[in-house]
Amino acid sequence: MSGVRSASQANTISSLHFNGPTHDEVDIVIKTDWTRNWLVVIVAALGLTACGGGSDEGSDNSGSSGSERGVRGVESNNGLVKFANAFYAGPESQSLVMTGTFAQPENVIVTSDSGLISFSSVASNKLTLMLGEVDRPVNESVTLDFRYQDQSARVQVSVSIQNASAASLESQVVNTINSRSTVVSLSEDALFFNFFLQMAYLRSDITNQNLQARLQSFNPENSPWAFDVNFALDNLMQVKDRYRQGLVSEQVLRRELAFAERMIANHGTYGRDKLNEISIFVDAIAPDGLGSGVLEYVESTGVYSRILSSDHYVVASNGGLRLRPEYRALESLVQFN
């Protein structure tokens, strides 16, 4: 079908100063310079970039001392034992070294609320505790009783036990929550949908009126699964906060994440179906189409992608991912990190 461009659109295209071939010279093959050049032109002109999730709200599992948190040190009432920090943190099932100013005692009795923190060893100016295994972050108030031959000293500190085994889980949870806008809007498929229709218009396969109508038809926010995705992400955010407070276990957090992933995958079928609706335009540039794949989390990139999660489109390359040769001309439309 022959398209008719308005004067304003003609001026917009001409203002890009692209010296491409005429319509009669166009050969719709993905490896032609014209197709690749117009891909760059369309992306630049429309300001279309594959966007990631919002800024990470933060998940730091590294050990922290009290001084790093602005907490002053502590000492016993009689001044025999002093620690530079009142707060200590370390990963589960590991030793925690606490330095201070004190003579080597005969013994140290360690008391904690849950019994997850125990005595390991002591020397002059250095006390080593052992942190137990946990299934959630645990914040403990720990009492240290230093026993000397003729006297004793008591110090109380706070210790945070980090659930190291769930570090990757928590990272995915945070990335999933921060990806809400790109997931709900299906930004990856929206970019492809826009690009292939723009290419069809430039080839005069569709009119401007038809182009605008098709672009407006892509509305994933009103898809059958959009509500469920938002509901699942709201729940995930609440469970994540409760997990960090030590109120629920990593198993609960993992279960809530799995539910959110199922809703996201279901929602992703909307974008796949919309691209299948314009397969005649997609196949002209990507002969193998873009109608397969599931919207899933890609750990190496930290994003949800229907393209990067499928070996139909990507191959491993230098420790990362790269599009297969038949899709490589579309790399500028795909977010790899």
**DSSP conformation letters of 227-278:** HHHHHHHHHHHHHHHHHHTTSS-HHHHHHHHHHHHHHHHHHHHHHHHHHHHT
228 and 315: one domain? yes
> pLDDT tens across 16-47, in order?
333 333 333 333 333 444 455 555 555 555 54
Q: Hunting for tokens 């393209």 — which residue is that?
A: 307
> pLDDT tens across 161-176, in order?
999 999 999 999 999 9
Q: Which amino acid is at 318?
A: N
Residues linked to residue 109 through DSSP beta bridges, in sequence order: 145
Mean pLDDT for the chain overall? 84
> What confidence score (pLDDT) does residue 286 get?
86
187 and 310: one domain? yes
18 and 129: one domain? no
* Inter-helix orientation angle 226-244/167-178, to 10°: 140
> pLDDT tens across 46-72, in order?
544 444 444 445 444 433 344 344 457
How many Cα atoms occupy the beta-carbon half-sphere of 60 within 13 Å? 7
Are 96 and 129 in contact by the 8 Å Cβ rule? The answer is yes
CB-count exposure of residue 264 (10 Å: 0-12, 13-18, 19+):
buried
Structural domain contains residue 197? yes
Where is the domain boundary, 163, 197, 229? Answer: 163
Give the number of domains in the chain: 2
103 and 207: one domain? no
Structural domain contains residue 35? yes
267 and 196: one domain? yes
192 and 257: one domain? yes
Dihedral pair phi/psi, residue 114, rounded to 5°: -100, -10
Using pLDDT thresholds of 50, 70 and 90, give the confidence band for residue 179.
Answer: very high
83 and 21: one domain? no
Structural domain contains residue 61? no
CATH code where residue 72 lies: 2.60.40
50 and 72: one domain? no
159 and 245: one domain? no
Query: How does DSSP classify residue 17?
Result: T
Tokens of 228: 């469920």
Residues 6+ apart with CB under 8 A from 230: 180, 184
> pLDDT tens across 261-285, in order?
999 999 999 999 999 999 999 988 8
Structural domain contains residue 62? no
- Domain carrying residue 137: 67-163
Starting from the edge strand earliest in sequence, which strands make up the sheet with 152-162, in order? Answer: 87-91, 152-162, 138-147, 107-112
106 and 226: one domain? no
72 and 98: one domain? yes
Task: Give the residue with greater pLDDT, 3 vs 289.
Answer: 289
> What confidence score (pLDDT) does residue 220 get?
97
318 and 184: one domain? yes
Are 108 and 119 in contact by the 8 Å Cβ rule? The answer is yes
